[in-house]
Structure 1
Amino acid sequence: MTIYLHEGDLPRDVFAPGPIAIDSETMGLNPHRDRLCLVQLADGQGDEHLVRFSGGDYSAPVLKSVLTDPSRLKIYHFARFDLAVIKAYLGVTAGPVFCTKIASKLIRTYTDRHGLKDVLRETIGVDVSKAQQSSDWGADVLSEAQKDYAASDVRYLHRAQAVLAERLAREGRTEMAQACFDFLPWRAELDLAGWPESDIFAHM
């Protein structure tokens, strides 16, 4: 297992074929205010690739080609935020989508704990640290702890996705989940367009 840190873009041909796990780190939770600092990716084969943005250049053609590849499923935890911030700064829709948080809410209805830490512990028996979650991702130099934290957010998503997909099928909720995943890019667009909290389907 190796963590690779790249400045501004991915090298070419670093991933095996198949789904890609994706996460992002930002300066905060408002895509209009808080800049995108890092995109993490993994193909489930043991290595993680971190793409760092520090100079305001978000051109990243290789990264964008991976994010928009229609043949690769993109696995997220809380895809709504990652899709929004990626669209805001990189200008692309990073799909097709599987969101382990949405899947968890649809299938782990016996709990209200759907954070990544809880989902990984219950589905695949892995305990991850969230100690660096609120650290300064815009720092000139990322610490080893920050890099390991960022990598851990994508390291196990393939395994969790497989378990959740199996449970969705078992309970007859695969089609419902897929409809939610298909809508997520538009949910992110609504967030960016000014409807982050409004339920536009509500009567009032």
Structure 2
Amino acid sequence: MAVHFHEEDLPADVLAPGPIAVDTETMGLVTHRDRLCVVQISDGNGDEHLVRFANGSSYDAPNLKAVLADPARLKLYHYARFDLAAIEYYLGVVAAPVFCTKIASKLTRTYTDRHGLKNLVSELLGEEMSKQQQSSDWGADQLTDAQREYAASDVRFLHRMREILITRLEREGRLEIAQACFDFLPTRAKLDMAGWIDKDIFSHE
């Protein structure tokens, strides 16, 4: 298992075919304001790839965009809504189709309100991960080893968790509704970017 660090784009042909786990690190939680700094990708075979974008980047990244925009590749996220918005806003591609472990957790783990990635990894896989670097400066000129390890860990477990969560969705009869939610997520991200991030357009209000 290794963490590979790349500047401005993903090298060609470094990922095996099949689903990929994807995550992003940004300067904050406001997509239009807080620039995209890192995109993490794993094919589930043990290596993680981190693509860093410096301040002032053009976000050209043709190899990375091709992988993210490939409609034949399933993208695994934890809280896909945020990552989809960041990727579309800065890289200009819709990184779908989608499987979101956070939504799958909320549809199956109804016995708890703890749906963070750390909680899922602990319960479903029996492994521990540190979230200490979550709020660190991702726009720094140099990323620390701790930041790189944290970023890599955000995509390290998603393939294995997807398999467990699919089994639970099937067991509870909620796979179809989960898929409908996943299919809607790119539109949900567009609504966020268009100004409806805090509004429930389906409510009676």
TM-score range with shorter-chain normalisation?
Answer: over 0.9
1:43-58 superposed matches below 5 A: 43-54=43-54, 55-58=56-59
Asked if residue 2 in structure 1 is aligned to residue 2 in structure 2, the reply is yes
Greater shift in the superposed pair: 185-194 or 50-59:
50-59
Cα deviation digits, residues 142-166 of structure 1 (max 9, x gap): 0000000000000011001110011
Where in structure 1 do 4 or more consecutive aligned residues deviate above 2 Å? none
Q: CA deviation at 1:91?
A: 0.7
Q: Does 1:202 align with 2:197?
A: no
Residues 82-101 of structure 1 mapped to structure 2, 5 A cutoff:
82-101=83-102
TM-score for both structures, normalised by structure 1: 0.99
Aligned residues: CA RMSD: 0.5
Aligned-partner SS, 2:23: strand
For residue 50 of structure 2, what is the amino acid of its counterpart?
A: L
| Partner residue in 2 for 1:37 | 37
Deviates more, 1:51-60 or 1:22-31: 51-60
Return the alpha-carbon distance in structure 2 between the equivalents of residues 166 and 61 of structure 1.
35
How many residues get paired?
204
Taking the aligned partners of 1:126 and 1:28, their CA distance within structure 2 comes to 27
Q: How does 1:8-23 map to 2 (within 5 A)?
A: 8-23=8-23
**TM-superposed deviation, 1:81:** 0.1
Displacement of 1:140: 0.3
SS of the aligned residue for 1:4 comes to strand
Structure 1: state its 5+ residue gaps: none
**CA-CA distance at 1:71 after TM superposition:** 1.1
Q: Distance in 2 between matches of 1:68 and 1:58?
A: 14
**Identity, % of aligned positions:** 69
Alignment-mate amino acid for residue 155 of structure 2: V
Residue 23 of structure 1 aligns to a residue whose secondary structure is strand
Superposed counterparts of 1:118-197, under 5 Å: 118-197=119-198
Partner SS state of residue 194, structure 1? helix
In the alignment, structure 2 segments of 5+ residues that lack a partner are none
Secondary structure, in 3 states, of the residue corresponding to 1:183? helix
TM-score calculated relative to the size of structure 2:
0.99
Instruction: Name the structure 1 match of 2:24.
Output: 24
